[in-house]
Amino acid sequence: MAPSESSILSSFLLPPAPLQTIITLRQFTDLFPRALQSNPAIPRLYRELQHQRAIDTDDVKRNIAAECKRGERQAREVARARRRDEAADSAAAGLTRGEEMDVMMEEDLHGRTGATAGRRKKRTAEMVIEDMEQAERDIEEEIAEIEEETEAVLEDLKGIVGDLSDLRYGRFNKPAAGGEELGQETVATLRQLQATCQDIGNG
């Protein structure tokens, strides 16, 4: 079985072991001059390195997961584009709407190999069920992505509304700001709101 994108990225980007496995506190202390090895700052520095390493590792894991989701989304977009092209070919061939829907349904059930490949090889009930389960997972992932995007937009809108509310009632983060600076901040906030609304309209 070919390695997945996640396993490849993880093997290249994630550390193979935690810091204490690679270098112990004793070994770390020995790196310092002998006169300084009893300094209490050395264990603190070691713990800080452990903490920062764990934070960086978590960030990389999140980025890998996001990249894999982006790849899956691109694959689905390619599949949808292919189905649209095939639908256009069907229309050019003079198929009726019902016949076109039959072709698209067969394509969905037969996965990425296509309906033509499915006709060349007899499909079992297990294969059909597997394709249907994969289609269900794809739809669930798309719904989850839409929900995440919706939550992000909602949080942006809440922040913008909060900023505008502060502006209305005179609660500013910078009370000493002059009128010109305040005006610039107001324009920037309104432009952010406009951009967010445009993104929603284009989504």
pLDDT tier at 150 (50, 70, 90 boundaries)? confident
Please give the mean pLDDT across all residues of the chain. Answer: 72
pLDDT of 104-144, one tens digit each?
A: 666 565 554 444 444 445 567 777 787 788 778 878 877 88
Over range 40-59, report the average pLDDT.
89
Per-residue pLDDT band at 5 (split at 50, 70, 90): confident
Q: Could you tell me the pTM of the whole model?
A: 0.40
Supply the DSSP string of the chain, one letter for each residue. -PPPHHHHHHHHHS-SS-HHHHS-HHHHHHTS-GGGTT-THHHHHHHHHHHHHHHHHHHHHHHHHHHHHHHHHHHHHHHHHHHHHHHHHHHHTT--HHHHHHHHHHHHHTGGGHHHHHHHSPPPHHHHHHHHHHHHHHHHHHHHHHHHHHHHHHHHHHHHHHHHHHHHHT--S-TT--HHHHHHHHHHHHHHHHHHHHHHHH-
Residue 31 scores a pLDDT above 70: yes
